[in-house]
Structures are given as C-alpha cells and as structure tokens.
A and B are shown apart, each in its own frame.
Chain A
Amino acid sequence: MADVGSELIARLRDICGERHVVTHAHQLKTYESDGLLHYAVTPGAVVLPGSADEVAAVVGACYAAGTPFVARGAGSGLSGGALPVADGIVIALSRLRRVLEVDLDNGRVVVEPGVTNVEVTAAVAPGFFYPPDPSSQIVCTIGGNVAENSGGAHCLKYGFTTNYVTGLEVVLTDGTVVEVGGARADLPGYDLLGALVGSEGTLAVVTKITLRVVPVPEAVRTLVAFFDSLLDAGEAVTAITGAGVVPAAIEMMDNLAIQAAEPMANAGFPLDAGAALLVELDGSEQECDARFEEVEAFCRDAGANEVRVAADAAEAARFWRARKAAFAAMGRIAHAYYVQDGVIPRTKLGEVLQRISALSEEYGLRVANVFHAGDGNLHPLVCYDSDEDAERAAELSERILDACLELGGSITGEHGVGYDKKKHMGKQFSEPDLAAFQMLRCAFDPHGLANPGKVMPTPRLCGEVPGVYRRHPLEEAGVAERF
C-alpha cells in the first residue's frame, strides 16, 4: 500500500464495508490504467461505494484526510482521465447502476453514474432514445460520459452529452452534496451544469444524472459510398453539408481502416477502396427521402465508384459494425497503435489529410484514418510494430495535433485532455485562458483533491497568481492607467 493512511482506510471500510475497499497490491493492479494503457499508476486504495450517500461520506473522509481521489466509471476513457494518483483513492462508481426514474411525458430519465450509455436508451425504448453514442457505448458509463462530455457518431445533428444533461447531483470536494439544475430547463443562475459536464472529474463527483431523451425518428436511411481517395470522399462531404443537409452521421474510413475492419465486420466493404463514406439521415419520411436522393447524387458527382443503400436495418447495422469495429480491428494489421483525437474546422479536411499522409511518409509508419467527417473530428490511428517505434509513433501522433492546432482546431474532440494531453493545453490556450480555467477549478476544489494532475498543464496551487505583476499592455502604451 502506498501513502494512504491506515486511519482513512479504516474509515472507508466503515462507510462501504470491508469487501468494498481494495488494498491488496495485485487487486489494485486492475485499476492502474483506464482505456489508455500507456500509463499506469497503482492507487493507494480503491473504494466501491454502493450509494450516493456512501460516495459523499467517502469524499468527506478523503477531504478530512487531505487525500486526493479519482472517480472512475468503466475505465474505458482514452485520455488517462481516470489514471489513479499514487497516494490517492480511486472511487469506482460501478455499483451505482440504477435507473431511478423514467418520465417520458417530459422526456427525462434519471440515472446513477454507473449505468452504461446503452442502458439509457434501453430504459426509454422503443419510443425514445438517448442520442450521444460513443463507440464504447456498450461498456462506457453515463458518469464517464458526463466527465468527458462524450460525443459519438450522431452528435453532428444531435449534439453532445452536455446538450442532454439537465440536472446533476454532485458531491463537492468537501463531501457536501448539491443539486445543480434539475428536470426543468434553462434555470437562472450560473450554468454550473455546463461547467461540470466535461470537467473530467476535477470539480466534483457525480452521483445522479438527469438526462433528456428524444423520440425515435420516423425514418432512418443509411448508405455507404466507396471512393478512390479520401479527398474524393471529402468532396462529397463538402457538397452534402454545403447543400444544407445535416446528416444524423457522416463517417469516413480510409483504405487501411477498411482493410482492418472488413475481415472482422463482414460488411462487404471492398478491400481496395480508397475510402468509405457512411452517411445516415434521419427524420420525417418526406424530408429523409428527398434529402437522401441528394446525398446519393453528391456522392456520385464526387466520383464514388459505388453507392450502397442499406435495404433494411440489418444491413445498416452491418455498415455501422465496420465503422465501430475500426479501432478494435487495428490489432489485425499492426502490433500496436496510438488513437489520436484531434479536431479541425471541416473545411480544412483536405489539408490535414495531406499533412497526415506526409507525416506518415516522413516517419515510415502507417496511419489509418477513421473520423467523424461532419464535424472535423479526426481519429488517426498511428500503427507501429516494435517497441523501438513506439516513441516515434507517439511523436507522429503529437505532430498531428500540432497540425490540427495550426489549422484552427482543437487537441481533443471527445476523448478529453486527461493526463495524456495536458502538456498540449498551453499550445491551444494562452496564459490568461489557463488562468481562467484555474479560477474555475479553485472555486470548486480549492485544495486540489479531485483528480489532480489532469487537464491543467502545470500543477498550480489555488490562490497562486501565475507570474509576477506585469504592467498591462495598455499601461505600457500609455493608453490606460491603473487606479
């Protein structure tokens, strides 16, 4: 056991029961990484509370002991956001998995954080669904989705987790339980929901979530078009969105991704296609039909060799299987890979793809491209086969992020900053931006106990003013003076 005091451990056992506090070294190993396996830290202890009250008591005990804590859902995150702290506690929320309330008249469902993403839709089916659908939706939890502001393939049209959370019950870092928002919408006061969703566990621990769910659309139409190159497929995307079509999803895969995914998914994708473009429209029958014809035409005009329209839901599901299998299937063509998560303004798609291709050549490493084409969210998979290549693959992956930033984008579209990307925050944000982030963090967590060492690029204490006093540029210029 690391530096967690025996008094705190005893207290956690009192709160949650002996069997829900993990302290054996080999058992702790289960929790040393999240979905990003490059990083591993053995926590001091892991506690599995069984109720919101227990979570509050656990956080209160950590606060009293001055011990940092990391909340963890399914551990499927890809940014090291749930990476433990060596002298801290992991609070695993996997036992809080009840659907507490379903209110379809108002389009609301209330769940505990350990409920998985697909279980929300299951709870409101068949008339309603919960739109944010990360590829890991079978295992990832709503608590984790809230922490990361998860997206998914359908967020171009439907929005992200933050657009669906109307209320949260959270445990603040001192163990106090507060409710933010609720079932009702647009309440006055600071949008603390907006601040909490996507805060990666650094502001509070979520114990209850009220979500908005929406009626299942009347019609869904899915097609996949195959092109000689990604650039041709990109032309089709430009034409489709430029015409004012907002597809439910518009996803692209390159040849390498197709080669990896097809043998696993058996979707019938041609292995020699340069790119596959998966387009899904949904909505009213009339609108869907009219728009779908346009989409088909745009694909052919952009040079599609073949356009396949899903005849039924089963065929559409096969198309989707190829797309969603892409990450997992990479193992078939490479020993190991890095998944990147960068964003560019969609109009820069061609440019960024050329840069990625040039980088791939420069490093002599293969890069497979899978992405949400509608919103410019790229997931290049940098493949490598030997340990000697790992460092260079990581470097290539980082240079892709630099390219995204140079083109006006972002270092993360849905995986989060976590531990992995905090070093890039200073490239995307200025010192005053980071200082504002720090003020928000300190308002919630003045002692730096909630998931420390994540998101912010350099550790900073609350109340610490970064740098020395400097004259404002306007004072220097003699335009203004300080009173």
Chain B
Amino acid sequence: MPSASEVVAARLVSGPARIVGAGTRPWGRPVNAAALETAALKGWDHEPGDFTVVIGAGERVSEIGARLAEHGQMLALDPPGHGTVGGLVATADSGPMRHRYGAPRDLVIGVQMALADGTVARGGGRVIKNVAGYDLPKLAAGSYGTLGVITEVAVRLHPRPEAWATAVIHHDDVDALQRDALRLARMPLEAEAFDLRWDGGRGSLLVRFAGSAAAERAAKVAGEVIEDDEDVWAQQRARQRGDFVVRVHALPTEIARVLRAVPGATAVGRAGVGTIWLQVPSAFDVTQLRGAITPLTCVVLDAPPSSRGTDPFSLKARPERTLASPALAVDTLASHFDGDDGSTRVAAGGSTRRS
C-alpha cells in the first residue's frame, strides 16, 4: 500500500499541480493546473518527553493546540486562520508568538517533500539539534510549494505556560510609539509576544507575559494589565488578514515611517521584529506605498481583484542585487528541484515561480 506521500509524488510526475491545503490563503498568481489536495496527508506522532511531534501536512494547525495542551505543551506558531500545517510552512506565515519563538523556519526540525520527479525526500530529522545534511526544512519554509509538496513536518514544541497577562501602553503619536517600542525592546523582558496596533491616529503596544508571575511582570511594564487576554491576541492575529492587507518588512526603527506611509491606516505588527500588516483602503495604490518606504520590502497578501497583479512571492520587491547572479538566480534553484523544462510543475496556494 503506497503511503499518502508516495501518492502525491506519483501525481506530480503526471504534470503541473495547484497545491491546495485548507484553501485559506489564496495568495499569489492563479495557477492554471489541476488541484492537488493535501487533505489525505494525515499523521500524528507525538513524543511528549522529547517535545517533538511529526505531523501530516494536511492536519489543521487550529486542531493541534488542544491535543498538545493535554500534555502541557504547545506548538509556538499562532498564525491567523484555520489553515493546514503544510500551508503554514509553505507560506512561512506566523502570528504574535513569532516575537519569542521565531517563524516556522525556526521551529520546523524535519520535512518530507514529494518532488516533481516522483521521489519523496526528507531533510532534517526529529531531533531538535541536528546539522547533518543541507537544511531542507528551512528551504521548504516559505517556498510556496515551488520546490515540492510538503507532505509531513517534524516540529519542536514548547511547554505551554499556565498563565498569561498582557501589559497595554497607549499612544496617540507614531513617533512616541516607536520610541517606546525601542525602549522596551532593549529590556530583558522575556515577553511571549510584543505587538503594536494602530487605528489611524491612536494605538498601543501590547506586551504579553507568561508563567506564574505573568501579571506581576506585566504590572512592572504598564499600569493597564489584562489578565484574561485571549481576545486581545485573537484580534491581533485576525487583523493580519482582511480585504486588502499589505505586509511590510521593517526594522523597529522604521515603525513610525511605515505607519505614516498610509494615512488613516489600521495596522498590527510585531514591535520587536518590525513586521507590520497594514489594512489599506480598497482604492489604495501599492506602487505608491512601495515608493514611500523604499528600500523596505512589502508583500500584498489579501487584495481586491482590481489591485492584484502583485505576486506575494514577488522577488521584484527585493533589492535587485539579491538577484544579480547568473549562477544563483532563484529560478535555478527551483529548476533543479522542479525540472528544467521551463514548465511549472509544482505551485502552491495560487503562487508560481516565474518561468
């Protein structure tokens, strides 16, 4: 009986595929190819003592939390929505816990991929520390399915804290908000999350603490402390998605500049990392934003059809020099994994490599 991964690999041999997980991130260019659903890629091999789990790519991220909580553990990735594990890794999406625990690349310790030549390859393993072989798990993270179909991932887990509390600091000036963010980022807070939100003229910094002394530690940072803080963070996550959302990759010292670039914008962001999700009006001109924040990279995630045409995987958004090399055009990498006949064999979530 062939495994679900082998079935996927065999399917790839027969021609281009549009990879579909839960279908919750319709990001990027449409791909004109038959759908390849990952729903059958189930699997759950949890070793609580090792703080690791191997998960089928078709499992839903939102359903994992409860299973792990029974063991006092968590997967420290909290993207918005109800997507699959494969989709999460393929898009390198993340949520507020990115601040402390990192992006998918930082927590994925092993990956299994079905490749366009019909083989199933693995990289990494299921131990936390491992430097044998090239780091395919990281290469898979954010590859949008263009190197292969992620069929299974091994991830590192963390202890689930017993309590949380969030300190809220209000600001009505972007410069003051940025100054405060920089001040807090220099402190050894060991915060679980450190976010900003902005509603066209006023906003706040949110610092989340965990553990038995969470409320006490939050109180040291700000007067306003929310102990029952689940909703606060659910909102932060939710606002990473919307009708028209642009993600900007900034540094903490560029927060004010980004918030100012879109008058009246609402935004959430990782104050310590610098990544900001802007909710912009439907008639918004992204080109103008790109000009205003040069050389920062921005990625259009969700957009009305009229404003599409900007590939979220677009490398044009990056400085030209990153693509300067003939030997290392990113396409070269894709073509090695994906056949070099110029056709797009594998593509995911509506995204495709340029051919």
Contacts and interface: CB of A to CB of B under 8 A. Distances in A.
A128 to B, nearest CB: 8
A106 B115 contact: no
Contacts of B312: 188
B52 to A, nearest CB: 7
A17 interface: no
Interface string A409-451: 1111111110001000100111011111101111110100000
A437 B299 CA distance: 29
Interface string A172-202: 1110101110011111111111110111000
A105 interface: yes
Contacts of A100: none
A151 B211 CA distance: 27
B348 to A, nearest CB: 13
Given A188-B314, A283-B190, A472-B13, A425 B135 contact: no
Interface residues on A, range: 35 or more
B321 A178 contact: yes
Contacts of A446: 327
Contacts of A215: 185-189
A215 B317 CA distance: 31
A244 B327 contact: no
A473 interface: yes
Contacts of B216: 286
Instruction: Identify which of A191, A344, A413 gathers the most chain B CB atoms within 10 Å of its CB.
Output: A191
Contacts of A156: 128
B133 interface: yes
Interface stretch (A252-260, A267-275, A372-380): A372-380
Given A190-B139, A215-B188, A436-B123, A244 B159 contact: yes
A376 B129 contact: yes
B33 to A, nearest CB: 13
Quick one: which of A163, A434, A480 has the most chain B CB within 10 A?
A480
A281 B135 CA distance: 29
Interface in A2-16: none
A444 B329 CA distance: 9
B47 to A, nearest CB: 6
A345 B118 contact: no
B127 A409 contact: yes
B319 interface: yes
B88 interface: no
B333 interface: yes
B158 interface: yes
A416 B131 contact: yes
A190 B143 CA distance: 6
A184 B274 CA distance: 7
B130 A343 contact: yes
B157 to A, nearest CB: 11
A375 B125 CA distance: 13
A183 B251 contact: yes
Contacts of A432: 115, 119-122
A100 B115 CA distance: 41
Interface string A100-128: 00011111100000000000000000010
A284 B100 CA distance: 14
Given A178-B324, A184-B296, A287 B190 contact: yes
Contacts of B147: 190
A473 B119 CA distance: 10
A474 interface: yes
A192 to B, nearest CB: 8
A428 B327 contact: no
Contacts of A107: 185, 252, 272
Given A180-B322, A194-B141, A104 B105 contact: no
A426 to B, nearest CB: 11
B7 interface: yes
Given A410-B132, A417-B133, A437-B134, A472 B118 contact: yes
B318 A345 contact: no
A412 B130 contact: yes
Interface in A212-264: 215-218, 238, 241-242, 244-246
A214 to B, nearest CB: 8
B182 A105 contact: yes
Name, among B52, B161, B190, B297, the residue most crowded by chain A CB atoms within 10 Å (CB to CB): B190
Contact of A474 (B10, B105, B272, B275): B10
Question: Top 8 nearest A-B pairs by Cβ distance?
Answer: A194-B138, A244-B159, A286-B213, A432-B119, A436-B121, A347-B49, A480-B10, A439-B336
Interface of B: 2, 6-7, 9-11, 13-15, 47-52, 72, 92, 94, 98, 102-103, 105-106, 113, 115, 118-123, 125-139, 141-143, 147, 158-161, 182, 185-190, 211-213, 216-217, 249-253, 272-275, 296-297, 299, 312-315, 317-319, 321-322, 324-328, 330, 332-333, 336-337
Interface of A: 103-108, 127, 148-149, 151, 155-156, 159-160, 162-163, 172-174, 176, 178-180, 183-195, 197-199, 215-218, 238, 241-242, 244-246, 283-284, 286-287, 290, 343-347, 372, 375-377, 408-417, 421, 425, 428-430, 432-437, 439-444, 446, 455, 472-475, 477, 479-483
